[in-house]
Amino acid sequence: MMTKFKLTSVIAICAASFLRAEHPGYQVEALPFEDGTDAQVGGIDVLPDGRLAVCFHHGDLRLYDPKTRTWSLFAQGLHEPLGIVTESPTSFVVMQRPELTRISDTDGDGKADLFETVCDDFGMTGNYHEFAFGPVRDPEGNYVIALNVASNGASIRPEIRGDWLELGVPREDFMKSWGSVKGKAGRMYSRTPYRGWIVKVDPKSGKMTPWASGFRSPNGLGYDGEGRLYVTDNQGDWRGTSPLHHVEKGKFYGHPASLPWTEGYDGPPPLEIPVAELEKLRTPAAIWFTQGSMANSPTQPVLIPEGFGPFAGQLLVGEMNRARIVRVIQEEINGVVQGACTPFIDDSGLDRGINRLAFGPDNTLWTGQTHLSWAGGEGMRRITWKGKNSFQDVKSISLTRDGFEVEFLQPVTPAELEKITLRRYTFAYHSAYGSPQKEQSEIAVKTVALEPGNRRFLIKTANPHRKDFCYEFQFPMCQNPLLCYTVREIPN
């Protein structure tokens, strides 16, 4: 028995040290929760004093003081809150399933007593997949929210809110003969107003303005330093792989269920529109997260501030299916936003299910995990920059006419350059769930140093670039070897 014990101990120690491997540049710590807490996080914001406002799947809005490492209850009973914005230390705007709500403490006892409906002008069928995401503030101070479509994993409820869009399937049939109409409903369906839309809400009047359509499950909104809005979405129907969209007013982002809510829409039911027509209407993703290797369910994008290591100005995006935060390196080519994504931190103390991210005034990154009935995790993490730039990764990448210009954090040796590989593939745009990698091919590369110091190189590609292809690099010398660049436009 003794020998057996020793053997398993050795294996256990090896496994544990592998999982705990710390990131050389970033410290990851878990936040304390009381035993028995269902710590599934729907939203995080950081107050100017460094405290956190966090809303949870179980309906609480709690405040966390990092100085004392203690939680206090601010409000409870919220319905699937999935985002929060601080308006003042005593007032928060929270996206609940049924409405955007301003939750305030007006009598100074530290607990909310006023729940003001900022906006509930969107429909609900009661289908579980009609999540409401956001809010984030646009540069003018408006709230931006995203309204998920319903899933034919379930029908609707007997009572709905808002107008009903029949599209050849009467509402009674959704209730009485769901089994037979399920297929006709569409895999994801939008039968009440503005499902599948990004909408803006005036913070004072609550007036709602439909902003952009074509979304499926847009569980992540954020702005970059240039005031550009980004929204993630999830692989599925009309989503060959999970995308990051650069969202502009009036554009359509590819999932057709939401189209009939367009003002003056007189087209056919969405599922009857030929794909070629939809192709003409849609704005494709700015960046693809390759399913299986990069991210399967990307979440909230946040802007990296100065003081959090070498990547200021880029974006971080959470991922549900593995213990990973993804980094996005965005650029504009011919007026179109595109760019690359690469893992930022893998494992190193992270959990799966990173649903929400927020930076504090001291450049601490806070993450909150969730799972509901999908893959994911629980709890929260605090991530800080160790202050020393000692690891190797791609700092930035930019598309050139005949290759990619890449800057590394550390000098690269000729032997390391030899090991760089590149392949490309694309994803189908269709109603079926997801897409395999299509038209895969290996691309030969040649590197040319751009300046002394061996940190900046031009990676020349043997074949001309192809639009709407994902270019997948392996940089074996990097902390995170995988990097994917989505080509939409090619520099003139």
Partner 1 sequence: MNFRPGNTILALLAFMVLSAGAQSGNKPKIKRQVIEAVEGLRYSPVRLSMKQGEQLELKFVNRDPNDQPHNLVIIKPGSLPAIQAASLEIGPDSIKNQYVPEHKAVLAASSLLESDKSGTLTFEPDAKGIYHYVCTFPGHAAVMYGAIYVNQRPPRDLASDPNIPKMVRDLEMEKVKKALEVERPAVTRAFLPDAGPAAIAVALPGKLNYCWDAGNCRLRYAWSGAFIDRRAMLNSNGSKLTSVLETPFWSAGGGESDYSLQTVDPKARPDFKGYRLVNGVPEFRYLIGDLEIRESLTPFEEGLKWQFQIKGTSGPVRIFSPGAVESDQGKRDGDYWVFDPNASGTYTLKIKSPK
Residue numbers at the binding site for partner 1 (CB under 8 A): 3-4, 6-7, 9-10, 38, 57-59, 76-80, 96-99, 101-102, 112-117, 120, 124-129, 131, 154, 157-161, 372-374
- Pick between residue 159 and residue 172 the one whose CB is nearest to partner 1: 159
Smaller CB separation from partner 1, 214 or 353? 353
DSSP secondary structure of 301-334? EEEPPTTSSTTTTSEEEEESSSSEEEEEEEEEET
Q: Which is nearer to partner 1, 237 or 416 (CB)?
A: 237
The first and second tokens of residue 445, run together, are: 């590369």
Instruction: Residue 9: count other Cβ atoms within 10 Å of its Cβ.
Output: 10
Q: Which long-range contacts (CB under 8 A, 24 or more apart) does 157-164 make?
A: 157/125, 157/126, 157/127, 159/126, 160/123, 160/124, 160/125, 160/126, 160/192, 161/98, 161/120, 161/123, 161/124, 161/192, 162/122, 162/123, 162/124, 162/192, 162/193, 163/123, 163/192, 163/193, 164/191, 164/192
Shortest reach from residue 96's CB to partner 1, in Å: 6
Task: Decide whether 154 or 303 has the Cβ nearer to partner 1.
Answer: 154
For residue 50, give the amino acid letter: G
**Given the complex with partner 1, which of 150 and 487 has the nearer CB atom?**
150
Q: Distance between CA 425 and CA 167 in Å, rounded?
A: 36
Residue 447 C-beta: closest distance to partner 1, Å: 43
C-alpha count within 13 angstroms, C-beta hemisphere, residue 280: 4
Structure-block tokens of residue 2:
């003794």
Of residues 58 and 460, the one with the C-beta less far from partner 1: 58
Work out how close the CB of 449 gets to partner 1 at its nearest, in angstroms, rounded to a whole number: 46
Residue with smaller CB distance to partner 1, 194 or 485: 194
Order of strands, sheet of 52-56, starting from the edge strand that comes earlier in the sequence: 41-46, 52-56, 61-65, 70-75
Show the tokens assigned to 377: 């995790």
Nearer to partner 1, 1 or 415 (CB): 1
Task: Report which DSSP code applies to 284.
Answer: P
- Whole-number minimum distance, CB 92 to partner 1, in Å? 14
* Least gap, CB of 142 to partner 1 (angstroms): 19
Give the nearer residue to partner 1 in terms of CB position, either 93 or 383.
Answer: 93
All residues at 6 or more sequence positions from 395 whose CB lies less than 8 Å from its CB, including other chains: 310, 311, 407, 408, 409, 455
CB of 330 to partner 1, least distance (A): 31
Least separation, in Å, of the C-beta of 388 and partner 1? 33
Nearer to partner 1, 58 or 466 (CB): 58
Report the alpha-carbon distance of residue 25 to residue 460 in Å, rounded: 30
Min dist CB 117 to partner 1, Å, is 4
Q: End-to-end alpha-carbon separation of the chain, Å?
A: 71
To partner 1, the closest distance from the beta carbon of 458 in angstroms equals: 47
Residue closest to 232 by CA, chosen among 315, 297, 313, 148: 297
Q: In what order do the strands lie in the sheet with 132-137?
A: 132-137, 143-147, 198-201, 208-212
C-beta separation of 381 from 367 below 8 A: yes
The nearest distance, CB 253 to partner 1, in angstroms, is 24
